[in-house]
Amino acid sequence: MVRCELLSDRPVLIITPDGTLDKAAFEQSATEIDPIIVRGRKFVGVMIYAKSFPGWGSFDVLLSHLKFIAEHHQRIDRIAVVSDSGLLKLLPRIAEAKIRCFSFQEKDRALAWLETGQ
């Protein structure tokens, strides 16, 4: 399961995985995000907020995740990974987006970076 929270006072989406990721998590996220995109809203940033990475339930789930990213990344300026997970901290090295990692305790600092880029 994945919880998505669009902040009301800023164009930032916080994604919090809760348990092993499955296809339904990405379908659920898309149903929350897609209506916002259809209305023409662009996210300044997305925060992935997870103490540790829960993992994918199967290889098919990993493929669903990659498809979800491919379909949504154009509407995102910056991604903040707020986690103590070593795996998630590898994202800036393999992704073609403005991604920055923060420790799990640095949520406020990550939000500031998402808004300002500094």
pLDDT computed for residue 108 by the predictor = 93
pLDDT for residue 30: 78
What pTM was computed for the model? 0.76
C-beta neighbour count of 10 within 10 angstroms: 13
* Structural domain harbouring 31: 2-116
Cβ distance 19 to 1 under 8 Å?
Answer: yes
What are the pLDDT digits (tens) for 67-106? 777 776 677 778 888 888 776 666 555 555 688 889 999 9
Q: Where are the alpha helices (DSSP H) in the chain?
A: 23-38, 59-72, 91-94, 107-116
pLDDT one-digit tens code per residue, 7-55:
877 778 888 888 888 888 778 777 777 777 777 666 678 888 988 877 7
Query: Which of 63-98 are b and which e, b meaning 16 or more Cβ less than 10 Å from the residue's Cβ?
Result: ebbeebeeebeeebebbbbbbebeebbebeeeeeee
How many structural domains are present in the chain?
1
Domain with residue 32: its CATH number is: 3.40.50
Report the largest interatomic distance among the alpha carbons of the chain, rounded to a whole angstrom.
37
